[in-house]
Amino acid sequence: MKQVPILVLDFGSQYTQLIARKLRESGVYTEVVPYRENIEDIKARKPQGIILSGGPASVYAEDAYKPDEGVWELGLPILGICYGMQLITQHFGGEVVAADHHEYGKAKLKIENDSSIFKGVTDDSIVWMSHGDKAEKLPEGFNIIGTSENSPYAAIADDNRKVYAFQFHPEVHHSTEGTAMLKNFAKNICGCDSTWNMGSFAKEKIAGIRAQVGDKKVLCGVSGGVDSSVVAAMLHEALPKEQLICVFVDQGLLRKDEAEQVQVMFKMLDIPLITVDAKKEFMAALEGVSDPETKRKAIGEKFIEVFDSEAKKHTDVAYLAQGTLYTDVIESVSVKGPSKTIKSHHNVGGLPDWMTFELVEPLREMDCTS
């Protein structure tokens, strides 16, 4: 298991992936794992710091999400965000209660005390609040380092134990200097280097594809979007042309001229593309259906059927590859934590039991962490 400088425990926030993204963009490799990750698996990654994400639950609820108790005993720097702050407050002996009113929107962060986590951050910078609970009493050893008009404990810290907590979400775009705070935590407090980049990540994944696939064939589902197009390009670089079968399904639900644009793009990339005209099949599956979620399920099932039908026309197809934007994963229920369903997506959720394909593992990892 590779070393992961910053490990994010996901408690179900739909912002969680932004934490990893902001830190990776800063050159610090970061992974997201479920909040319930076993402590031995956490240790095996040799993190230099832990971030506790936000989440939809309350820490005082009977079935509240809690990490492995061993997390607190690692002696590593910890940053808690929203729900993560409330976990820290509760664990170290403070008190968390339901707020008089839910706070949602922009706030001005007033820096009250010097802290390395606020190095270079200007006073009264804008931060994004999204919470229904609050810290009522701070644990012993913690100091207030930031306040806002409605949050007297907007940011707290125990510098001796290197434990920090924000009531706001530094990972979202609306927190104007949030990225600087995350970088300060990773670099100044955890001592992480800025050596990671997408180029080395892509090389690692391409090597992983070659190692797993060998001389077998891969069926790649193509929609024309950036997600599936990037996957197709990586497979094209990793494998000989005869091992890659890219299938584009024209389901009749595309934008004007989009099918033609997809075909032109793949020709420019020199990636062979099979286009399947499945408009009639998709329209038949949607006929008389008005519920949006039922429509999405029907589209997903039809995609799988079309891909399976196309695969049977070729010999030795062992793997299915697909691209998935992480927004789709989060909306369909995060695979990392207990976030709530917004809507399902046809390319999220794995394969039905009756299919004989395997998913290309390096690509699955990329979907879940990038």
Can you give the pLDDT at residue 368?
Answer: 38
Can you give the pLDDT at residue 355?
Answer: 56
User: Which residue's entry shows tokens 């100044």?
Assistant: 188
CATH number among 3.30.420.10, 2.30.40.10, 3.40.50.880, 2.60.40.420, domain 6-189: 3.40.50.880
Across all residues in the chain, what is the average pLDDT?
87
> Partners of 143 in the beta sheet?
157
Same topology, domains 6-189 and 198-369? Answer is: yes
CA distances (Å), 305 to each of 40, 261, 262, 285, 324, in order? 40, 24, 21, 12, 19
Tally of CB atoms within 10 A around 257? 9
Rounded to whole angstroms, how far apart are CA atoms 134 and 365? 35
Which residue type sits at 52? L
Question: Cβ(187)–Cβ(27) under 8 Å?
Answer: no
Chain segment 305-326, per-residue pLDDT in tens:
887 888 888 878 888 887 766 5
Predicted TM-score (pTM) of the model is 0.76
Strands of the sheet with 217-222, listed across from one edge? 273-277, 244-250, 217-222, 317-321, 358-359
Rounded to whole angstroms, how far apart are CA atoms 11 and 3? 22
Which of the residues are catalytic? 82, 169, 171
Sorted by where each begins, the domain ranges of the chain are: 6-189, 198-369
Residue 277 has phi, psi (to 5 degrees) of -85, 100
Chain segment 328-370, per-residue pLDDT in tens:
555 555 544 555 555 555 554 555 554 556 767 666 555 433 3
Question: Cβ(367)–Cβ(231) under 8 Å?
Answer: no
* Domain at 198-369, CATH class: alpha beta
**Element of type H or E holding 309:** helix 292-311
Chain segment 254-280, per-residue pLDDT in tens:
889 999 999 999 999 999 999 999 999
Rounded to whole angstroms, how far apart are CA atoms 229 and 247? 11
Three-class SS state of 86: helix
Q: Dig out the tokens for 47 from the structure.
A: 């993190």
Rounded to whole angstroms, how far apart are CA atoms 348 and 344? 7
Residue 133's nearest CA partner among 155, 103, 110 is: 103
What would the DSSP string read from start to end of 97-148?
EEEEEEEEEEEEEEE-S--GGGTTPPTTEEEEEEEEEEEEEPPTT-EEEEE-
Chain segment 184-196, per-residue pLDDT in tens:
999 999 999 998 9
Rounded to whole angstroms, how far apart are CA atoms 137 and 252? 58
